Amino acid sequence: MKDSASNELSFRTVVVTKKDQVAEGVFRFELRDEAARALPAFTAGAHLTVRVPSGANRNYSLCNDPAETDRYVIAVKRDAAGRGGSVSMADEVAEGDRIDVSEPHNEFGLSERARSFVFVAGGIGITPILSMMRHLKATSGPRFKLYYVSRSPQTTAFLDELSSAEWKPHVVIHHDHGELANAFDFWPVFEKPGSGAHIYCCGPRALMDSVRDMTGHWPTGTVHFESFGVDQSRAAENTPFNIRLERTGRSFQIPKDRSILEILRDNGIRAPSSCESGTCGSCRTTLCAGEADHRDMVLGDDEKRDHIMICVSRAKSQELVLDL
């Protein structure tokens, strides 16, 4: 399958110089230039688009210090329930292999106006935030605090490092063991917005939704969420539109601030989904009629007439008819 991202991104070949396991099911990859040249610079919070051995493109956040120009470091969680990108990376990529990566891109950069930072990470969402923390510490930047939630110590990436004396004053780690009753209470953290403070959150959708719900009273522009490379600037172009389900005839209006997937879910209609950022392809749906406004990084040009990723894409026509 041809990825639409390949029409917009330029790729370079790098060598996997190190691969190790940093938690249960989480693998760290060190990538270097084949000729030991400096790599294109990146800023804290940036990601790479990686062409995995299966041929798909996947976005992975850089987790090393941006001052390091000789290597890129990413961490990948093996998700057996996904569409195979992370499984392909975890199972098929070994030290010494060559893989293609894009230049770094950043839709999650640190605000230069912030006087302090509150970081919230869930699971593998620690990766871009770890890069931010390394950068702030190395440059004596504004103060910061990390709240890192995960299911258990075994599934917590970089646990040994983040538990060390170096990071202890800056880090709170919480394990909920998969039980709602053990969920971390973020309200004391967000109840009173700090002067000049900015929040950066990366993790599962449920965590990001919870943080969004609790920070509605924070000043506009001070709460940031990782979108894994999907350009959020186009949200300003959003307009409402209708969808009709071909199999049942049911119709719904999609507001400008909600996705097709969210509206279907609200109405008890189940649809496959995973990343909810237009990068994994899980929510691919057949488009029966109407013109889509494609915003994913999965569909090739020859697939866009008949398919849509319902987690991020919208409509150019007044109505879309979906094979649901």
pLDDT in tens, 246-268: 999 999 999 988 889 889 988 99
Decide if 308 contacts 285 (C-beta within 8 A).
Answer: yes
Query: What contacts 99, CB < 8 A, 6 or more positions away?
Result: 13, 14, 16, 31, 50, 51, 52, 53, 93
Q: Which spans in the chain are helix H?
A: 85-92, 126-138, 159-162, 187-190, 205-214, 260-266
Residue 209 confidence (pLDDT)? 85
Read off the pLDDT of residues 145-199 as tens digits, 9 standing for 90 and up. 999 999 999 999 999 999 999 999 999 999 999 888 899 999 999 999 999 999 9
Answer yes or no: is 125 within a domain: yes
Residue 228 confidence (pLDDT)? 61
Q: What letter would DSSP give residue 204?
A: -
Q: Can you list the pairs that 20-23 forms with residues at least 24 positions away whose Cβ atoms lie under 8 Å?
A: 22/75, 22/157, 22/158, 23/154, 23/155, 23/156, 23/157, 23/158, 23/159
Whether 187 and 282 share a structural domain: no
Our count of domains for the chain comes to 3
Its pTM surpasses 0.85: no
Answer yes or no: is 267 within a domain: yes
Read off the pLDDT of residues 285-307 as tens digits, 9 standing for 90 and up. 999 999 999 988 788 889 999 99
What whole-number percentage of the chain has pLDDT above 70?
92
CATH number, domain at 180?
3.40.50.80
User: Rounded distance, CA 232 to CA 282, Å?
Assistant: 20
Residue ending a domain, choose from 225, 244, 271: 225
Q: Is the pLDDT of residue 54 over 90?
A: no
CATH number, domain at 80?
2.40.30.10
Whether 10 and 88 share a structural domain: yes
Q: Which structural domain range is residue 153 located in?
A: 116-225
Residue ending a domain, choose from 225, 254, 279: 225
Q: Is the pLDDT of residue 5 over 50?
A: no
Side-chain half-sphere CA neighbours of 187 within 13 A? 2
Residue ending a domain, choose from 102, 137, 166: 102
Residue 193 confidence (pLDDT)? 96
Res. 7 pLDDT band, cuts 50 70 90: very low
User: Rounded distance, CA 277 to CA 228, Å?
Assistant: 7
Residue 173 confidence (pLDDT)? 97
Answer yes or no: is 108 within a domain: no
Res. 230 pLDDT band, cuts 50 70 90: low
Cα distances (angstroms) measured from residue 208 to each of 83, 118, 139, 145: 22, 14, 28, 17
Residue 1 confidence (pLDDT)? 28
Read off the pLDDT of residues 8-38 as tens digits, 9 standing for 90 and up. 568 999 999 999 999 999 999 999 999 999 9
Summary mean pLDDT of the chain: 90
Whether 17 and 93 share a structural domain: yes
Q: Which residue has the tokens 């919870």?
A: 210
Residue 272 confidence (pLDDT)? 83
Whether 75 and 134 share a structural domain: no
Read off the pLDDT of residues 70-124 as tens digits, 9 standing for 90 and up. 999 999 999 886 656 788 999 999 999 999 999 998 989 999 999 999 999 999 9
Answer yes or no: is 110 within a domain: no
